[in-house]
Amino acid sequence: RAGAGRVVAVGTTAVRAVESAAGADGVVRERAGWTDLVVTPERGVRVVEGLLTGLHEPEASHLLMLEAVAGRAAIDRGYEAAVRGRYLWHEFGDVHLLLP
């Protein structure tokens, strides 16, 4: 990771893939196969430092992953702004960039 720059995942599936390939040392190594990794605030992230993703419904389990990447306060502020701005939810194309 030294000198590697910021890792911004494009989509929640990319977060799961990269985090599944990351060792405890934070180094991403080549991997193959399926993952059953669930990224939550308790688990945290080792590599991903930002996320470009759609706006998920308030009940969606994906919000825990978003919180793991950017923190609860940032998610709350982003969703409040999205509701005020009448942004469209995940399936309809509006996206947002989450950074801690």
Instruction: Note the pLDDT tens digit of each residue in 74-88.
Output: 999 988 998 899 888
Q: What is the model's pLDDT at position 96?
A: 85
Fold of 8-98: QueA-like (3.40.1780)
Phi, psi of 11 (to 5 degrees): 100, 150
Question: Which residue bears the tokens 């469209």?
Answer: 88
Residues whose CB falls within 8 Å of the CB of residue 24, separated by 6 or more in sequence, listed in order? 46
Break the chain into its structural domains and give their ranges: 8-98
Residues whose CB falls within 8 Å of the CB of residue 10, separated by 6 or more in sequence, listed in order? 52, 53
Phi/psi-derived region of residue 10, left when phi > 0, alpha when psi is between -120 and 50, beta in every other case: beta
Q: What is the model's pLDDT at position 10?
A: 95
Residues whose CB falls within 8 Å of the CB of residue 12, separated by 6 or more in sequence, listed in order? 51, 53, 62, 65, 66
pLDDT in tens, 31-53: 999 999 999 999 999 999 999 99
Phi, psi of 30 (to 5 degrees): -55, 135
Q: What is the model's pLDDT at position 95?
A: 84
In this prediction the pTM is: 0.86
